[in-house]
Chain A
Amino acid sequence: MSKDQHTNPESTFEQCMKCTVCTVYCPVVAVNPDYPGPKQAGPDGERYRLKDPLFYDEALDLCLNCKRCEVACPSNVKIGDIIQAARLKYSTKKPKLRDYILANTDIMGGLATTMAPVVNFTLGLSPVKAVMDGVLGVDHHRTFPKYAGQKFETWFKRHAASKQAEFDKKVSYFHGCYANYNYPKLAKDLVKILNAAGYGVNLLEKEKCCGVALISNGFKDQAQSQAELNLSSIRKAVGRGEPVLTTSSTCTFTMRDEYEHILGLDNSDVRDSIMLATKFLYTLIDEGRISLAFKEDYKKRIAYHTPCHMEKLGWAIYSTSLLRMIPGVDFLMLDSQCCGIAGTYGFKKEHYQDSQKIGESLFRQIQDSNVDLVATDCETCKWQIEMSAGVTVENPISIIADALDVEATIKLNR
């Protein structure tokens, strides 16, 4: 039978040749023997679950959803998708209050930004951390990312929106929760680069969290309704001829792949238009349609960490190629491996130890490499590496924005 016939990820398990390379590449298997590994949790387990849901193993909760198994698979089995779908379908564990809080990045972010100084201060206090650890099960080693005092959306409306009309060429921007609530600088950096390159930026008509944390915490229905809202906004933008750019590899991956594979939504009409800003920029430069000029005095040694979902997208080449274009950058490519955080996974007390063990060799490599900065396209990798390796981590977009000679770039693209 042709492989094309298996369009449904739930039936790709039959393509498994049992070569077990997925299990070799699984970061969890390497540190936790309780996890049966992607082969058994995915294609092998699926046959048994079809026989009787009794065969569902709650140890599937240990899956990071890093999709490194899928990247490794030579037979195109959607191993990670099979595991995620099985968790949503068969798990009898009810999500906890902790899971609700971690999963609802939108609600929490909306509340927290209005009282950012208080929230940031409170969440950093040791008694509060102890309570969160003991009562909620959020590991006390973790600090929540700081919330910004002003949402990016608010800043954009007040300071940037009107200016965008000056540009003929337009893109839409899906900023995601992190850039909106925690780190608006990233979003502002993107606007700065695009504007300098001659592109105007629109926000989507409406935007909700992509839903990645809802999916991994078992809130499928809510994830579906948020996904539908996002897709409808994205369709309007694409209808205007605007690609929808992002600055988070995980949001991008979720909207492009998980919407269809896990949530069962048809996104085929807009999937190709959803892309990371680095891919968009690199492609334009490569085609000679824009040029970027960089400051002569910018000098940094920068290492790039490939987030798991970036590995799955296969797009690390765009981000790293852009970084290498900056003349003052001494570039180092880190080994591609999971940092261990996997979104909300590493925040959970029960996963903390595994999370740190998974990332251990990555942290060591970073510490031994004597770099000024680590670049990565995922915000949760950033938190994990900053906490565990003690170096500053930036999105490639922010690094480009810092190194960019804005005036010269504007001239080049006029």
Chain B
Amino acid sequence: MSREYDVIIVGGGITGAGTARDCAMRGLKTLLLERLDLTAGATGRNHGLLHSGARYAVTDQESAEECIQENMILRRIASHCVEETDGLFITLPEDDLGFQSTFIDSCLKAGIRAEAIDPKEALRLEPSANKDLIGAVRVPDGAVDPFRLTVANVYDAQLHGAEVLTYHQVTSLIKEGDRVVGVEAYDTQARQKKTFRSRLVINAGGIWGHHIASLAGATVNMFPAKGALLIFGHRVNNMVINRCRKPADADILVPGDTICLIGTTSSRLPYDQIDDMKVTPEEVDILLREGAKLAPQLMETRILRAYAGVRPLVAADNDPSGRSISRGIVCLDHETRDGIPGFITITGGKLMTYRLMAEWATDLACRKLGVDKKCQTAQICLPGSETEEEKQKKELQQGRRTLGHKAAHGRHGTRTSAIDMNDSEDASLVCECEGVSVAEVNYAIEELGAKNIINLRRRTRVGMGTCQGELCACRAAGLLGKANGCARKSLDDLASFMNERWKGMFPVGWGETLAEAQFTSWIYEGVCGLDAFSKKEE
């Protein structure tokens, strides 16, 4: 019987993407299946913090060490996804300054450069930080764009021969005896069932991996912990700001691209609610109140939206907060664990350690398949990050470049050369807030597999800016309609995109954000007559 694939990876988050790249680079015939879009789960719903590991140093040395090692690797292999901002751990008057020395010792022990700096120096470096701070430690934190990172991994996997299918939901695992030999999937766009066979199935479903494992007859107890975050309208800070104390609510402020993010809260969530999370008014209150302690200016800054993600932690103890659980990587060989050959689960871990998780899972897969190839993902740069950042910046300064050129370069790195903006129509902007050109949208449709506006948002930043889709969504829908040859589909897509934007604006719907939403509804409902906009909202 012919085997189509060596491995099928289930889950298009960063772990699945990284595993697909690693498998493909080691010559395995690879298929990645994702039920929605890449990054649709926890990968697209976090801080985008390039952890130095400092946050875990005191409580979890192992995680801290993994973080700092991966941190340094990502700066090299994913430079176009990373902003090397550095971070501060500030001590406020109500915090115990004594904790600082414990903190620094633990960081140094884990190999994290941590240096106490004078409060005045800290404020000079980061003027938005709370002026009352009494201590500050500088660490190599940074920002990482999880959308870009995932897309770059998937793109590279494809360059190495992997196949990637989004909107394919795995409905069951095909078994021969106890052995898993493939999956049944439902193509939600073509509305048809498909069968894919493989020698191995790797479960990289994050929190949804609990369900995938159960399809194989294995039990992996996941611990869903909800974390809510707020996105602000612009960069208030240019360095990551943390509180120098034991991890608590809303104590990390991360600058990411044009915005900054405060998070997170942490609360237990029943497993059946992981697909329908809402940010509560209490969570917004906590985030604002605590966030303003890091940077008081947040209180006066426009909030674009609120969202929540689920930490895919593997339940290990009974701590109800979910914070003392190790972020450690869990790689399960279900053949030895549960007597189910052909099935591997890779879970636990975090965005920062995705590459290492992928390496562990791929090492195990190679052992099982008898393939003797070394992991190279820590050495070979991702597409877009091939040359050094400084060199790229210099190129940008030469000649007059428009916002569209410069912003695209931030998103696609050296791959920007594949986006031709010479023609004035191609150079015109679809998304004005985020500087996304017609050419960049077309590139995302043709090269990065964007099928709808939400896909486009994750691959370009269309609709992520101040106006949250008010100006760009209809333009993007037009371009997609042209590419897909279907206007009706684009209209539905537009309505569902606007509803998705409103969902994030609703919890922070006051002031300018509310006015913007009102104005947007006038345009889409009033001027454009997009009925579905209101109908779907009900």
- Chain A residues in the interface with B (C-beta under 8 A): 1-2, 5-6, 11, 13-20, 33, 36, 39-40, 43-48, 50-51, 54-55, 57-59, 75
> Which residue, of A2, A14, A33, has the highest number of chain B Cβ atoms within 10 A?
A14
| Nearest-neighbor residue (CB-CB) of A8 within chain B | B300
Give the shortest distance, in Å, between A159 (CB) and chain B (any CB): 54
Interchain CB contact (< 8 A) of A15 among B396, B429, B512: B512
A19 to B400 CA separation, bound complex (whole angstroms): 27
Chain B neighbourhood of A57, CB < 8 A: 400, 402-403
Chain A neighbourhood of B179, CB < 8 A: none
A272 to B257 CA separation, bound complex (whole angstroms): 42
B258 touches A19 (CB 8 A): no
Q: Given A13-B234, A18-B467, A55-B403, output 14 extra A-B contacts at Cβ < 8 Å.
A: A1-B512, A2-B511, A5-B300, A17-B515, A18-B466, A36-B402, A40-B432, A44-B435, A46-B234, A47-B234, A48-B406, A48-B407, A54-B406, A57-B400
Chain B neighbourhood of A48, CB < 8 A: 258, 403, 406-407, 435
B403 touches A17 (CB 8 A): no
A14 touches B403 (CB 8 A): no
Chain B neighbourhood of A17, CB < 8 A: 467, 512, 515-516, 519
Binary contact track B241-280/A, C-beta < 8 Å → 1, others 0: 0000000000000010110000000000000000000000
A33 touches B433 (CB 8 A): no
Chain A neighbourhood of B393, CB < 8 A: 54
A55 to B511 CA separation, bound complex (whole angstroms): 28
- Chain B residues in the interface with A (C-beta under 8 A): 233-235, 255, 257-258, 299-302, 393, 396-397, 400, 402-403, 406-407, 424, 429, 432-433, 435, 465-467, 470-471, 510-512, 515-516, 519
A21 to B321 CA separation, bound complex (whole angstroms): 49
Chain B neighbourhood of A20, CB < 8 A: 471
| Nearest-neighbor residue (CB-CB) of B236 within chain A | A50
A14 touches B470 (CB 8 A): no
Contacts across chains A and B counted by CB atoms under 8 Å = 83
A308 to B336 CA separation, bound complex (whole angstroms): 79
Chain A neighbourhood of B432, CB < 8 A: 18, 39-40, 44
A6 to B511 CA separation, bound complex (whole angstroms): 13
Chain B neighbourhood of A45, CB < 8 A: 403
Chain A to chain B contacts (Cβ below 8 Å), 18 pairs:
A1-B301, A6-B300, A17-B467, A17-B516, A18-B470, A33-B424, A36-B403, A44-B403, A44-B432, A46-B234, A47-B233, A47-B234, A47-B465, A48-B258, A50-B258, A51-B257, A54-B393, A57-B402
| Nearest-neighbor residue (CB-CB) of B301 within chain A | A14
Interchain CB contact (< 8 A) of B466 among A11, A14, A51: A14
For the complex of A and B, the 3 pairs showing the least CB-CB separation, nearest first, are: A18-B467, A14-B302, A1-B511
> Which residue, of B403, B407, B424, has the highest number of chain A Cβ atoms within 10 A?
B403
A16 touches B402 (CB 8 A): no
Interchain CB contact (< 8 A) of B512 among A14, A36, A54, A55: A14
Give the shortest distance, in Å, between B258 (CB) and chain A (any CB): 5
Give the shortest distance, in Å, between A20 (CB) and chain B (any CB): 7
Give the shortest distance, in Å, between A118 (CB) and chain B (any CB): 42
Give the shortest distance, in Å, between A107 (CB) and chain B (any CB): 33
| Nearest-neighbor residue (CB-CB) of B467 within chain A | A18
A11 to B397 CA separation, bound complex (whole angstroms): 27
A258 to B257 CA separation, bound complex (whole angstroms): 31
Chain B neighbourhood of A58, CB < 8 A: 400
A2 to B516 CA separation, bound complex (whole angstroms): 15
Give the shortest distance, in Å, between A2 (CB) and chain B (any CB): 8
Give the shortest distance, in Å, between B487 (CB) and chain A (any CB): 25
Chain B neighbourhood of A46, CB < 8 A: 234
A1 to B511 CA separation, bound complex (whole angstroms): 5
A1 to B403 CA separation, bound complex (whole angstroms): 29
Give the shortest distance, in Å, between B27 (CB) and chain A (any CB): 40
| Nearest-neighbor residue (CB-CB) of B513 within chain A | A1
B233 touches A14 (CB 8 A): yes
Chain A neighbourhood of B516, CB < 8 A: 17-18
| Nearest-neighbor residue (CB-CB) of B255 within chain A | A51
Chain B neighbourhood of A18, CB < 8 A: 432-433, 466-467, 470-471, 516, 519
A51 touches B512 (CB 8 A): no
A39 to B235 CA separation, bound complex (whole angstroms): 18
Interchain CB contact (< 8 A) of A51 among B258, B396, B515: B258
| Nearest-neighbor residue (CB-CB) of A23 within chain B | B432
A54 touches B397 (CB 8 A): yes
Given known A48-B258, A48-B407, contact A16–B300 (CB-CB < 8 A): no
A5 to B300 CA separation, bound complex (whole angstroms): 7
Chain B neighbourhood of A51, CB < 8 A: 235, 255, 257-258
A16 to B465 CA separation, bound complex (whole angstroms): 12
Chain A neighbourhood of B302, CB < 8 A: 1, 14
Give the shortest distance, in Å, between A259 (CB) and chain B (any CB): 24
A5 to B298 CA separation, bound complex (whole angstroms): 12
A160 to B510 CA separation, bound complex (whole angstroms): 60
Give the shortest distance, in Å, between B517 (CB) and chain A (any CB): 10
A57 to B467 CA separation, bound complex (whole angstroms): 22
Chain A neighbourhood of B234, CB < 8 A: 13-14, 46-47, 50
Interchain CB contact (< 8 A) of A55 among B300, B301, B400, B406: B406
Give the shortest distance, in Å, between B125 (CB) and chain A (any CB): 16
Chain B neighbourhood of A15, CB < 8 A: 512
Chain B neighbourhood of A54, CB < 8 A: 393, 396-397, 406
| Nearest-neighbor residue (CB-CB) of B516 within chain A | A17
A50 to B259 CA separation, bound complex (whole angstroms): 10
Chain A neighbourhood of B429, CB < 8 A: 40
A410 to B396 CA separation, bound complex (whole angstroms): 68
Give the shortest distance, in Å, between B274 (CB) and chain A (any CB): 33
> Which residue, of B393, B407, B429, B467, has the highest number of chain A Cβ atoms within 10 A?
B467
Give the shortest distance, in Å, between B233 (CB) and chain A (any CB): 5
